[in-house]
Structure 1
């Protein structure tokens, strides 16, 4: 029989010690008996599970355990590190453990004595070998009868030992002592498996006679899965100690009512904390009780400091459940750890503050009355107010020194506070529920601030006037601020205020007020929220009529009845107004139209002048601002107009609603604009918005005015068509922006001109094309805003494809490029090339291909004579003279009169020499005269 662990040596040593000292035999027997019937009497599976967890940890892989009963044996199989010699030595020792310093759980130490509670013949079988213990064999070896120390003498397992179950590394096999119920043992184990898996993180699976429990981790939650699909979820915080609390599937904690300290397996020290503590505290050898002393105090202090980590894992509204409830401690340890935990919750932040961040218990204030929705409204008023506090939070947090906040404290905090009216209404709504449920008495709310419609705040509701609830008042006005009256702001009004002493406002009191502006400006909004506006409309119109149809500017916001509901006065048109035929039909769309028509019956009740005085439109409205600061006058494209100017306008005189005119109604619209002095003045305002906008957006025969030319603007013929006869005067056409010249002031106009220049259907003279190019160069636009055209207008007036064209920047290239491919720019050809995305002519590769001879200027008699006639000094240098000058460009050779590049070249002709000499002497404008003088140097040439 093999003995891989040297058990013979171990037995010999023990037997020798017993022979040498008979008292040692008695001591060992008594010690083992004490462990069996005392310390480990009910810790069989706890100790075996600890050994299995250590084996898994040593192997570095979460372990599996299987417990079964086979042929009268209780078998406990596990995965992980197998049995070794050191482990056997520990098994055979009553006073030592095989664990290393720093390990949490002992392996094969004195705890193994727990197996003797059910068996006197235990065996440990591992894939490295096995050992067996036997009371009978120990008696025989020691020559003794009665009780013996069974675990002191190990034997190797026999060769016929049943092999390990597949997939496991070690199995403890315990032939059950007569009278020991296997089913009872398994039932007891089934009840403890969940706790064992929680306490021993290196165990992942526990199989008890075919029923399997599993341990998985989901973030901070340890999930213990049962054999019937049931799951227990533990929210866990791991540090030096482990804190865990059961939670539901949605994360709601289920605090423990009573538990024991786990170290890591359960001790006999009872706890009353809401969460389980698994801590490396010093314990007695039996691990049933903690060992008092400095080490225990340090361990408990460390664990308490980490408790707040578990609390913070919960959503703020559930953290209150982990505050230890008041009550008598269950043990000395319980008293200590409760006191330490409460101290940590007192000093460390963990409570969600209503203003953000977290608060320690001593920093916190909590409402002592259960008023749902009140705390969020007070977050900026009461420092340290706790958020998400449940009912009874003040009592819950009392042990952590949180300060209760009474309703009196709340009223003190509200004194002098300025808030939006809707905020006050929310406050009253929350307090009303508390009053209705008798949580608060109305007397407790005396002094509750009330915001008034004029911006003041009243200290208490008594004497305040409520607009809502008064039928007479609702017939006349709604939502109006009346200085001098304690009118509760309508957005703050709430039935609670009436219970606190507020009164309904009297209609006469409000009608006698002379400040209706705020009510008028809010009138449309009030009507849309369900308030009646007819009385307010009637009151304001009556006042306007009595004042000679003179109305303040704010009267334009007055809500009036329209065909599609209620609208502001300045969004309405009178029935029969010419604007009804001029504005686009969509303008009057019932769902989202910009304007509507005054209700016909209502309009009949009031003079036209009165309605126009409050802003109702009968014709175009004029907008005037003598001191404008920004483009905020609700004009179409106002910001673009503002930006198009070199400086902001000193005044604004413009016409409203020009963008509402129908496309085919512009002639009629222009006639209407010209018919009234105020609109004509706005239309003809120098650099004004109306003229600027109309030139680009009005439509005359389907085109904007600046797309047409005046009949007498013949210099634009071909580029712009003559404006058709639409029955409009010359003055109106000019005011609308019909062209008399090529001036460009916007990106759109530049784009339009480029399109026209590239349109092969247009017949444009070379001169007009050159002038158009000059205007493009001068236009104040960013080249990046303009897409280059596909076609460009050449020097001969024809259209060329852009890829075939170039901008002429030096004159000699004109001889090698086709006229239709040359784009001429009188000034700054570089900008034109950039605008058209064309190359400069000088960038095209060209090469002189003929041979020439260098001749100094001074050696050309005819040239000297011509220069003398012009009074020009013969310069230094000369020219390369060719009998025939040829230049290759774009793979084609051209005969040219002259060329300039690195050197100056000329054909031996009058034209060639004249151009070369004119270029060399910077007299390019005299090139034609020079040609004539070379042909005829007589003074008569100069006369011609």
Structure 2
């Protein structure tokens, strides 16, 4: 034959196995046609190589000579395999990288139905013809390996022939590939179906086993899940086993566009735990119902745009929650605890809700045997003292984590949380929770700065009644907004707050202010006096120029020390009353004792002025 379509080097190599092949370059000679020498197209020459057994380096020389040839003419090109066989066609052949170690035992891979080219025959042309680079992950994700893993728990190992690797061989092969591929947990979820021996030597899916001595094993209740065989754990370590689904630490569920229909949030039927299956979360249907309760009923359920949640919380031993919470407070688990979930409502708007993990932890006794919601961190905001029982939050210095758990750290953080104001008011209305008047003053100051639209009017409030802090009907309470009227407050429940916020607090609770309750005028007569210049210098431009001194100051039949009338006139019957009234009128209430000192002894002007250097 004379070759057609083959280069000189190709012909030289082929001539070693096709001795009747003429040298290249003679195909145009008329003598060959006269003699009846047959043509042999390159495609036919390649087909004649089927079944040929040659050394891998011979095949590599052939591949070298075929560079630049149309790939369609080489589809049947034989490829020598690492296990000694030869296969027809490079497609689906795994091509080891030059000078690299074998990704796995070629014999085992062959028994799995995989074809791995012999390293000495590996050539770039094979990849162009459909061969695949035999990286660990490429081998691992072949249909043959996936099928073997899926069938690894079957009684016959899912064998299509009796030579299929047994469970131990398959496990070692897969774990080696996982290790070499550097996989992380969740990269290939189907690996959770891989049969591995447990602590009793029984085969179980990797996704249902725990790494012995690992973080999760130390916090898990005894006998909840079996551990993987210790010998296997020692041999392979955490990384490959964790990537196969063995629980080393808590596992995360990440799911997008989750329809919040409690009836549909069931675990999927699968041979392995799927990392995007929200049905794996304990009581996720109850969480969904709680979320739905926040929104109006609708025939179309809301959708959680993304859920990141920790599963298997229900497997934690009650005595191990301190260690478990320490794990949850670290990234990446921490985000599942602290990041709110965005909810898409049927009308196209979005709301945010508490994440599943925080919701679950708040409802279970995870802090010293108590539920964290409703506890106060030790050393936290003293304004919360008495309203919340103290919890031992040792090791949790991250306020965001504490807030996510429901542990109260500060009034500001409490009021910033949805429903926080209602919670605070409920606790203030609980007579069994002690509150001081100073504490109440500060708490009402914080509440007064809220938007009234975000606060539900309480039926009962904590107030100061004749010097006692007690719970009263909200309708009976009065905001104390003017100190000169305190003599009128006998038997009146007062809501203490900074004067600048008195109107806001009255609006928030829809109650009266004290200044609106006392409307009578001054019944007694007095003499007008100028305010001394040192006092005016001390109190500033808002200081009244004069005041009216009374022997006895009577308003609505009640004797007072001082009274600042709505028209801005100060009436006073005592030196202390003058000082208090001037300080109040000038907006300098804390200076009232200094004013009294000046009024009593004007010679102290320089002394007191010098002392103000240190204000």
TM-score by length of 2: 0.47
Q: For CA contacts below 8 A with separation 6 or more, give which structure has more relative contact order.
A: 2
Q: Which has the larger radius of gyration?
A: 1
TM-score after normalising by structure 1: 0.33
